[in-house]
Amino acid sequence: MKKTLLLFVLLCTIVGYSQQSPKPDISNQLYKEAPSWAKLMYSENPNVNTVDDLYASYYKTNPYVKSFHTQYYKRWRRAINPFLNAEGFYDHSKKLAAIEAARTLKNSQNSNPEMGNWSPIGPYESYRPGGTILSGAQTNVYCIAQCLNVPNTLYCGTESGEIYKTVNGGDTWTNASKTLVTTLAPQAVIANGGVRAMAVHPTNPDIVYAGSGSEVFKTTDGGVSWTVVFDSNIALSGYIENPAEIFINPTNPDIVFLAGKAGVHRTINGGTTWTRVIVNECFDLKPQPGNPNTLYVVRRNTATNTHQFLKSTDGGVVWIAQTTGWYNSTDPNRSVVGARLAVSEADANKVYAFLIGDSKAGDNGFIGVYRSDDAGVSWTNTMGYDGAPYTATHPNLLNSDTSATGFNQGFYNCAATASNTDANQVLVGGIGMWRSNDGGQTFTCIYNYGCGTYNPMHVDMQDFRSFGNEYWATTDGGVFKSNDLFASQPEFKMNGVHGTDFWGFGSGWNRDLLVGGTFHNGVDVYSEGFPFGVFLDLGGGEPASGYVNPGTEQIYSTNIGSRFIPNTLSGAIVNASMGLAPTEEPWFAQSSEMEFHPDCYNHVYLGNDNQLFKSVDAGASYDAVYTAPANSTVLGIEISRTNTDTMYIVVRTNSATPYLVKTTDDWATTSIITLPNVNTTLALISLDPENDQTIWMAFPRGNNGNKVYKSVDGGTTWSNETSSNLDGQNIQVLTTIGGTDGGVYIATGMSVYYKNNSMSSWTLDNNNLPATISANDLRPFYRDGKIRLASYGKGVWESSLFEAPSRPVAKIMVDKLTATCAGDIFYFDDFSMLNHTNATWAWTFENANIATSSLRNPQVTFNSTGDHLVTLTVTNEAGVSSSDSMTISVEALTNTALEEDFEVAFVPDGWRQESTGNYTWSYENTVGGFGQSTNSMFVNNYVISQVGTHCDIIAPLNMLNTDAADATLTFDVAYALYSSAYEDGLEVEVSTDCGMTWTNVYSKYGSVLATAPNTTAQFVPTATQWREESIDLTSFIGNENVQIKFRNVNAYGQALYVDNINLGRTLSVGEVASEAITFYPNPVKSNNAVFVKSTKNEDIKFSLYNLQGKLIGTIFTQTNKAIPTQQWNLSAGIYMYNIRSNNKIKKGKLIVY
Which CATH class name applies to 580-800?
mainly beta
Same CATH fold assignment for domains 812-890 and 1070-1152 = yes
Task: Specify whether the backbone of 567 is left (phi greater than 0), alpha (psi in -120 to 50) or beta.
Answer: alpha
pLDDT in tens, 876-889: 999 999 999 999 99
pLDDT over 60 (residue 10): no
pTM recorded for the entire structure? 0.86
The winner for highest mean pLDDT among 119-128, 393-402, 403-412 is 119-128
Phi then psi for residue 860, to 5 deg, are -135, 145
Architecture of domain 1070-1152: Sandwich (2.60)
pLDDT in tens, 127-165: 999 999 999 999 999 999 999 999 999 999 999 999 999
Least confident of 297-301, 745-749, 946-950: 946-950
Are the C-beta atoms of residues 530 and 523 closer than 8 Å to each other?
no
The winner for highest mean pLDDT among 99-103, 206-210, 1039-1043, 1089-1093 is 206-210
275 pLDDT band, cuts 50/70/90, is very high
pLDDT over 80 (residue 123): yes
Residue spans of alpha helices (H) in 342-391: none
**Predicted pLDDT at 14:** 34
Q: How far apart are CA 1090 and CA 1152, in angstroms?
A: 11
Contacts of residue 411, Cβ cutoff 8 Å, sequence gap at least 6: 25, 192, 283, 337, 338, 356
**Average pLDDT for the chain:** 90
Phi then psi for residue 37, to 5 deg, are -65, -35
Q: How far apart are CA 464 and CA 485, in angstroms?
A: 10
Compare 449 and 87 and report the one with higher pLDDT: 449
Architecture of domain 898-1063: Sandwich (2.60)
Architecture of domain 812-890: Sandwich (2.60)
Q: Which strands, in side-by-side order, build the sheet including 119-122?
A: 119-122, 796-800, 786-791, 775-781
Compare 21 and 520 and report the one with higher pLDDT: 520
pLDDT in tens, 1051-1086: 999 999 999 999 874 433 333 333 456 777 888 877
Q: Measuring CA to CA, which residue among 526, 503, 411, 477 is closest to residue 793?
A: 503
Phi then psi for residue 976, to 5 deg, are -125, 145
Phi then psi for residue 797, to 5 deg, are -125, 155
Are the C-beta atoms of residues 153 and 147 closer than 8 Å to each other?
yes
Q: How far apart are CA 502 and CA 525, in angstroms?
A: 11
Task: Specify whether the backbone of 685 is left (phi greater than 0), alpha (psi in -120 to 50) or beta.
Answer: beta
pLDDT in tens, 325-361: 999 999 999 999 999 999 999 999 999 999 999 999 9
The type of residue at 977 is: L
pLDDT in tens, 608-617: 999 999 999 9
pLDDT in tens, 45-102: 899 999 999 998 899 888 888 899 999 999 889 888 888 888 889 888 887 777 677 6
DSSP string, 984-1031: -EEEEEEESSTTSS-EEEEEEEHHHH-SB---SSPP---TTS-EEEEE
- Which percentage of the chain shows pLDDT scores above 70? 92
**Predicted pLDDT at 877:** 98
Buried b (16+ CB within 10 A) or exposed e, 957-982: bbbeebeeebbebebbbbbbbbeeeb
Phi then psi for residue 964, to 5 deg, are -60, -35
**Predicted pLDDT at 784:** 98
Instruction: Give the pairing type, strands 125-127 and 534-537.
Output: parallel
Q: Length of the chain, please?
A: 1153
Are the C-beta atoms of residues 678 and 699 closer than 8 Å to each other?
yes
The type of residue at 197 is: A
Q: How far apart are CA 509 and CA 520, in angstroms?
A: 28
pLDDT over 90 (residue 626): yes
pLDDT over 80 (residue 855): yes
The residue extents of the domains of the chain are 580-800, 812-890, 898-1063, 1070-1152
pLDDT in tens, 497-551: 999 999 999 999 999 999 999 999 999 999 999 999 999 999 998 999 999 999 9
**Average pLDDT, stretch 448-470?**
95
Compare 232 and 276 and report the one with higher pLDDT: 276
1103 pLDDT band, cuts 50/70/90, is confident
Are the C-beta atoms of residues 278 and 299 closer than 8 Å to each other?
yes
**Average pLDDT, stretch 179-199?**
60
**Average pLDDT, stretch 1016-1038?**
94
